[in-house]
Chains A and B, each alone.
Chain A
Amino acid sequence: MRNRIRVAARRAAFLAVTGCALLGGCATTPVQPWERGQLARWDMRWDPDPLQGAMAGHTRFSKEGSSGEIGAAGGGCGCN
């Protein structure tokens, strides 16, 4: 079991380093504040409909063994 955890930790570290490298290494011309109009669109949010997102996430959490989102997690429920 410890080996499996080590493998998981190594994979997570690899993904983290790769992700950071991708983000840092692909730097392009900075986007100026007045060029961010499209980024401010409602449909560009990470979660445009939080209520529906919460319900969909809750449903999957109760029917799948490993699903989840990123961010502060809520409590569990008797459904899982």
Chain B
Amino acid sequence: MGARPHLSPSLAALMSAAAALAPEAHAQTATGAETDSRVSYRFNDYSEDSLAPGPHLGDPERYRVLSQQFQLATRAGSESAIDVSATHEVMSGSSPWYLLRGPDNRPIQVMSGATIQEHRNEVRASWTQGAGTSSSTTWSASYSQERDYRATALGVERSVPLGDALTLGYGGSFSHDLIDPFEAEKYDRVRHEDKNSASAFGSLAWVIDRASVLQTGLQLNVEHGYLSDPYKLVSVGSSLVDDLRPDRRVQAAWLARYRRAFSAADAALHVNYRYAQDNWGIVSHTVEAAWFQTLPSRWELVPSLRYYSQQQARFYAPYFVDAGSHNFYSSDYRLGTFGALSASFNLRKRIGKWEFSGGVERYHAATDYALGGADAVVPGVVSYTRAFIGLDYLLQ
């Protein structure tokens, strides 16, 4: 404090103002306890590419999903915040059903018939105690409903400072899901199944210097119950059997996130890395980088790149020559080996209390993109384009 008498009055006032911001600044960067009050809307158009050229049966046109998101985030008292959001999705199109062994041993992709429009509705609510402070607790609940699927989830997250530079985050969640496949009798599918999922995580966020912050954390996810896909079949010898996966899945993931501000450029760099491994044999790496560039007249431009690679589950194959000693079977492309590159470009403009946003993402997946190459072909791997427009109104 001995230096204070040497400060000019204007500099002292500036320091006081900055110090007043400090708890919120700490919370926003190191713990993620954000304190905006706003009403938001997003319209998303997700469109999958047609099935890649190759032997196939059925409609090659794949899924299209139109989504609308609504959110209200507001302060409730001096240190509490409420966040309520709702999502409505309309889905249509066909999807990979099973693979047949072709005459030259090349798999033939059989597509499901194009679906009529399906709908999904989801509501989420969260309540944060200690919003805008360095120590906060967030309670959350969500419910998602489709014609054949319902999920109810509860979660809690806590963040507490460990000294000036470190913040500890930890929490957990639980979800109970019910699966009631439609046309179960017609296609001899399972009638009524359920699954439970639990997750726990811990993280440390470190304020490295006045312009950068790093977070690293571990997450453990455990799923138990019906984890197969009731709409997929598998070729085993000359028969078609149901997709059959283990009823327990344990996944561990390590994640690191880095943020750096560049004041001269009025920009910020985001870099994320995630490593995940599970007891099904799937190992994945994800690297993401984004550049948030502020432009004159309150424009903001955000280009970003993402790379994802996964190695297949032990029980994945395009088809099985015979039952052999296999206990589980799946030809779901999402359990195969592939990699994906995606690039996105978002734009945001603020006018008074209104924010207009829009963006597009192009996602391209291929077996050749996987780290270490692929052991088996994955014919159904999907590429897509996703675009959105959004509108926000700042309440304070």
Chain A positions near chain B (C-beta within 8 angstroms): 1, 4-5, 8-9, 11-12, 15-16, 19-20, 22-23, 26-28, 30-31, 33-41, 43-52, 54-56, 59-60, 63-80
In the complex, the answer to whether A15 meets B275 with C-beta atoms within 8 Å is: yes
From known contacts A12-B254, A35-B210, infer whether A40 and B199 are also in contact, taking CB-CB under 8 Å: no
Which residue of chain A is the closest to B16 with respect to CB atoms? A34
Question: Can you offer 9 A-B residue contacts whose CB atoms are under 8 A?
Answer: A11-B252, A31-B210, A34-B19, A38-B211, A55-B44, A59-B384, A64-B308, A73-B173, A77-B146
In the complex, the answer to whether A23 meets B15 with C-beta atoms within 8 Å is: no
Q: Which residues does chain A contribute within 8 Å of B112, judged by CB atoms?
A: none
Q: Please give the distance in Å from B45's CB to the nearest CB on chain A.
A: 11
Q: Which residues does chain B contribute within 8 Å of A34, judged by CB atoms?
A: 15-16, 18-19, 22
From known contacts A31-B210, A36-B18, A39-B261, infer whether A66 and B284 are also in contact, taking CB-CB under 8 Å: yes
Chain B positions near chain A (C-beta within 8 angstroms): 15-16, 18-19, 21-26, 28-30, 32, 34, 40, 42, 44, 46, 67, 69, 71, 85, 87, 91, 120, 124, 138, 140, 142-144, 146, 148-149, 151-153, 155-157, 164-166, 171-173, 175-177, 179, 195, 197, 199, 201, 203-204, 206-211, 213-221, 250-257, 259, 261, 263, 267-268, 274-279, 281-284, 286, 292, 294, 300, 308, 310, 313, 334-336, 340, 346, 357, 359, 361, 363, 365, 382, 384, 386, 388, 390
Q: Complex: how many Å from CA A64 to CA B382? A: 9
Q: Complex: how many Å from CA A63 to CA B335? A: 10
In the complex, the answer to whether A8 meets B310 with C-beta atoms within 8 Å is: no
Q: Complex: how many Å from CA A57 to CA B259? A: 19
In the complex, the answer to whether B19 meets A76 with C-beta atoms within 8 Å is: no
Q: Please give the distance in Å from B364's CB to the nearest CB on chain A.
A: 12
Q: Which residues does chain B contribute within 8 Å of A60, judged by CB atoms?
A: 308
Q: Complex: how many Å from CA A31 to CA B203? A: 20
Q: Please give the distance in Å from B172's CB to the nearest CB on chain A.
A: 7
Which residue of chain B is the closest to A40 with respect to CB atoms? B25
In the complex, the answer to whether B204 meets A23 with C-beta atoms within 8 Å is: yes
